[in-house]
Chains A and B, each alone.
Chain A
Amino acid sequence: MAALGGSVARRYAKALFEIGVAEGNYEKLGQELEDLARAYEGSSDLRLALENPVVKPSEKTAILKAVLPRVAPSPSVERFAQLLLERGRITILRGAARAYRELADARAGQVRATVTSATPLGPAELDRVRRALEARTSRKVLIQTAVDPALIGGVVARVGDLVLDGSVRTQLEEMRHRLLN
């Protein structure tokens, strides 16, 4: 279901992205879509109201219209959100935002990477890691950082579907496998 949902979300995202490209504001639309998805994921009341089948469609539309001007004033994003609501696809909003971002990054020739370390990395270290990843992917890399003490030491970088693991935790696990086998 998740894969199917991802595929559907990518289709909707691609449609909106093409509109944005045509209008020349795909970056703005992408940011508004990102904000709308974050607001939707962050408010359980909003999710319950829009996903509850007891609530009438007209009421759902009214709620959505009340929220949209604050986070996504563009008419394209507003129509996009209303279309998802009318077709019962509002739950794919988060996936659509992610797919839209990937499309936008691909168009801009960049890729997003998540770098996780046991302790926070300094700017120089992050820069070295970014340059290494750009050399590895041949694209401009936008880094997001995260800290996970369970790694003990080292770095884990996730670029799209690619995972580059240089953590001490993973090395200990590999050592454990060798001992057992």
Chain B
Amino acid sequence: MSVLTLLADSAPAPEVHSPQLIDVDGTVFVQLGLFLLLAVVLTKLLWKPYLRVRAERVSRVDGYRKDAVQMEADAAARLERAEAQLAEARRVGSGDRVAARAEAQAREQTLLAEAHAEAQRALAVMRAHPPGQRGHDRARAHHRERPRPGRPGCPPHPGPGSVTMKRTLRLSFFGLAMGLFLLLAVPAARAEEEIHGGVGTARTDTAAEHVEEEHGEHEEGPPSIDPKKLGLQILNFGVLVFILVKFGGGAMNKMLRGRHEQLKADLASAAELRAAAEAKLKKQEARLASLEHEIADMRRSLKAEAEAEKVRLIAAAEERAARIKAETAFLIEQQVRDADQRLRRESADAALKIAEEILKRSIGAADQQKLVDTFVGDVERAPAARSI
């Protein structure tokens, strides 16, 4: 029934002598006003806060998850950047190492070539004369460390879903109670006013006449509330509330509790996810913060290793060169000794050959006689004659 229809029907109601189930009169505007007032109050105090809390809750869970995803991405990007920088540092360090090794090898070649040349010279001389291995990132990391709601390092949201929701519900119930009070209290006050001080006086006529008269008078006056009827209506409402609470409250509570638990779980899961991502991000931030030192240490270490390798290679080359020289000296000495012995042997052989030839030619019977005499004398004089 529209408002215009109601306004059109605000003329005197048709007279009937039987009681009406629905009595439409001027109070409908009052009721309509109260309804609108209640709607405005409830919208302002209940509906909007509810929507706001709901949105905050959703945004909080989603926000946590979004934060987690963002932080994961940040951590991965930083890790990738750190790995790239480390790889670059390793490449540079490796280059230093290669350079140092090349330098050492060049030095090694020089030393060995000198040693070989010297050895060859010495051998030639001997033969000729026989004796015979980031600032903007840190700034960016520092920028990311600034306190930001919902980000690592900031206190979590102050739980608008808990405190604000309770306050909103409390206000909503207060508004609802006020509206119900107005709906019930205004017509009741008017009825009491009519009974005690107003228009009609106590009448003792017959019931039917009184009813008809009163109908005639009331048709022009404000509507009245029958307390008994109101009591029954309240009782009826109470029974309805009891039935609803009795048979529906448990399920509603269960549903609300389940939803509450689900929300808590979602929130905890999202918070956990975000905490993990935050820890990972912090770890990567810490690593990035120390990356420069790490890279510097790595470069220093690689450079030191390269230098050590260079020193080791040069030392080994020097040792090899010294060994070559020593071996050459030994070889020369050996060859000199061999040549000396060979010369002595050849000289001795030649001398003995000459002596043998001379003796063969010159030994005669007299010499043989002297030799026999000498042999006999030696045998007789020297009992310890040489035995072979």
Q: What residue in chain A is nearest B351 (Cβ atoms)?
A: A179
The answer to whether A135 touches B380 (Cβ under 8 A) is: yes
Chain B interface category by residue count = 20 to 34
Contact of B260 with A by CB under 8 A: no
In the complex, residue of chain B having the shortest beta-carbon distance to the beta carbon of A126: B372
B-chain residues with CB within 8 Å of residue A165 when the two chains form the complex: 386, 388
B236 CB within 8 Å of chain A:
no
Q: Which residue of B lies closest to A179 (CB)?
A: B348
CB < 8 Å: which of A132, A153, A166, A179 contacts B359? A153
B-side contacts of A180, CB under 8 Å: 341, 344-345, 348
How large, as a class, is the contact surface on chain A? Answer: 20 to 34
Q: Which of B352, B367, B372, B378 contacts A175 (CB 8 A)?
A: B352
Query: Which residues of B335-375 have CB atoms within 8 Å of chain A's CB atoms?
Result: 341, 344-345, 347-349, 351-352, 355-356, 359-360, 363, 365, 367-369, 371-375
Residues of B within 8 A of A97 (CB): none
Does A161 lie at the interface of the complex (its beta carbon under 8 Å from any beta carbon of B)?
yes
Known contacts A164-B386, A168-B363; A155/B351 CB under 8 A: no
A161 to B385, CA, bound (A): 12
Contact A179-B356, Cβ < 8 Å, known A153-B371, A154-B372: no
Known: A136-B380, A153-B363. A166 touches B375 (CB 8 A): yes
Interface residues of A in 153-181 (CB under 8 A from B): 153-155, 157, 161-166, 168, 172, 175-176, 179-180
| A121 is an interface residue with CB less than 8 A from chain B | yes
Contacts of B359 in A (CB 8 A): 152-153, 168, 172
Query: Given A162-B387, A179-B344, are A152 and B378 also a contact pair (CB < 8 Å)?
Result: no
Complex contact B363–A129 (CB within 8 A): no
Chain B binding surface, main DSSP class:
helix
**Which chain B positions have C-beta within 8 A of A118?**
363, 368
Tell whether, in the assembled complex, residue B379 and residue A164 are in contact, meaning their CB atoms are under 8 Å apart. Answer: yes
Asked if B376 and A132 sit within 8 Å, CB to CB, the answer is yes
Task: Knowing A132-B380, A164-B386, A172-B356 are in contact, say whether A119-B368 is a contact too (CB < 8 A).
Answer: yes
Chain B min CB distance to A163 (Å): 4
Query: A61 to chain B: closest CB distance in Å?
Result: 43
- Is A121 a contact partner of B363 (Cβ separation < 8 A)? no
B372 CB, min distance to chain A CBs, angstroms: 5
Shortest B382–chain A CB gap in Å is: 9
Contact B352 A154 (CB under 8 A): no
Across the interface, B348 reaches (CB within 8 A) one of A157, A162, A176, namely A176
Q: Known interface pairs A133-B379, A166-B378, A176-B348. Does A125 touch B372 (Cβ–Cβ under 8 Å)? A: yes
19 more A-B residue pairs beyond the given contacts A135-B379, A136-B379, A152-B356, with a C-beta to C-beta distance below 8 A: A128-B376, A129-B375, A132-B375, A153-B359, A154-B372, A154-B374, A155-B372, A162-B387, A163-B386, A164-B378, A165-B386, A166-B372, A166-B375, A168-B371, A172-B356, A172-B359, A179-B351, A180-B341, A180-B345
Could you jot down 28 A-B contacts, CB within 8 Å? Answer: A117-B372, A118-B363, A118-B368, A119-B365, A129-B372, A129-B375, A129-B376, A132-B376, A132-B380, A135-B380, A136-B383, A152-B356, A153-B363, A153-B368, A154-B371, A154-B372, A154-B374, A155-B375, A161-B387, A164-B375, A164-B378, A164-B387, A165-B386, A165-B388, A166-B375, A172-B352, A180-B341, A180-B344
Using a CB–CB cutoff of 8 Å, the interface residues on chain A facing chain B are 117-119, 121, 125, 128-129, 132-133, 135-136, 152-155, 157, 161-166, 168, 172, 175-176, 179-180
